[in-house]
Structure 1
Amino acid sequence: MNEQAHPPTAPAARLEPRRSLVVCTVIGIAVMAAVDEIVFHQILSWHHFYDHSTPDVALLSDGLLHTGSLLALVAGFFLSSDLRRRHTLAPGHAWAGFFLGLGIFQLFDGIVHHKLLRLHQIRYGVEIAPYDWAWNLGALVLLVIGVALARRAAP
């Protein structure tokens, strides 16, 4: 008998759709928070995270937002790297989570930060309604894309 010895094979990894969705939702939230902070707070200087105090407090609030988004981004990428390393990342669920995260942050910012808590507005010295509509409708578009991707990825 001339049988060749074969090394034992590892069992096939099972995809983790729920974890992929959650991890990439964190990444999406972090990316949108960073985009908001970099574009609207720094580049355009339309507002700060907290606008009802001194310029130093406004700058500190932006720094804290940026720090939080960076920490969430790093944590999300470490968790997604673990999923990829173990070959358990479910790509469809990951993309769905990413878009859901983008939309969740934007809608939370538009409703809770802008309207309920009144931490800041999108822009000052202009008619705010078109900016609010654009911001919140943009959030809804991102959420619809995320939901559509999640439904398409579902088994």
Structure 2
Amino acid sequence: MKRTRTVVSGVLTGIGTAAFIDETVFHQLLHWHHFYDKSTTDVGLVSDGLFHAGSWLAMVAGLVLYADVRRRGTLVPRAWWGGLCLGLGGFQLYDGTFQHKGLGIHQIRYGVDLAPYDWTWNGIAVLLLAAGAFLLVRASRATPRTRSSHTAPTTASRSR
């Protein structure tokens, strides 16, 4: 299916974006937690660095695929945005349920009642997943943009 590369591009970009925001806001700016909080602060900082590197790998892979589908003329913008929302929401729901609650490797925050944070974090994730699913259903009815829609009309070449 031609839309698969478009959707995968959006999902990878969404994962990279969500991880970048999580790392930047909650790990670095607010100092609420590290990727791995079951050890020393030094281990937590190293885990943050590895997490950050992984998020950028997902982002680069997603944007390379995006450039490729644009080059091929098979980009379906609504499918890409749907994939992006699925990546954002999927990462956030995975983080909030599996990493926070299942593995317990870190929490959103420490020393506070977690319920409002958990409900907000996971609620936003579900909304993003729903938006992504909605956009993908809508995209299934759309046609890919072709190169001709992005380029100026050509004129006949002059012969000498």
Partner of 2:101: 115
Partner of 1:35: 21
1:91-142 CA-to-partner distances (Å, cap 9, x unmatched) read: 1110100000000000000000000000100000100111000000010010
Residues 89 and 125 in structure 2, CA contact (< 8 A), matched pair in contact too? yes
Could you tell me which of 55, 59, 63 is aligned with 1:73? 59
CA distance in 2, matches of 1:25, 1:71: 13
- What fraction of aligned residue pairs are identical, expressed as a percent? 55
CA distance in 2, matches of 1:92, 1:129: 34
- For the aligned residues, what is the CA RMSD? 1.0
CA distance in 1, matches of 2:34, 2:100: 11
1:5-48 CA-to-partner distances (Å, cap 9, x unmatched) read: xxxxxxxxxx9212111121011011001100000000011000
Partner of 1:47: 33
TM-score (norm 2): 0.86
The unaligned stretches of length 5 or more in structure 2 are 142-160
Partner of 1:9: none
Aligned length: 141
Partner of 1:128: 114
Q: Given residue 34 of structure 2, which amino acid in structure 1 is its aligned partner?
A: H
- 1:73 alignment partner, SS class: helix
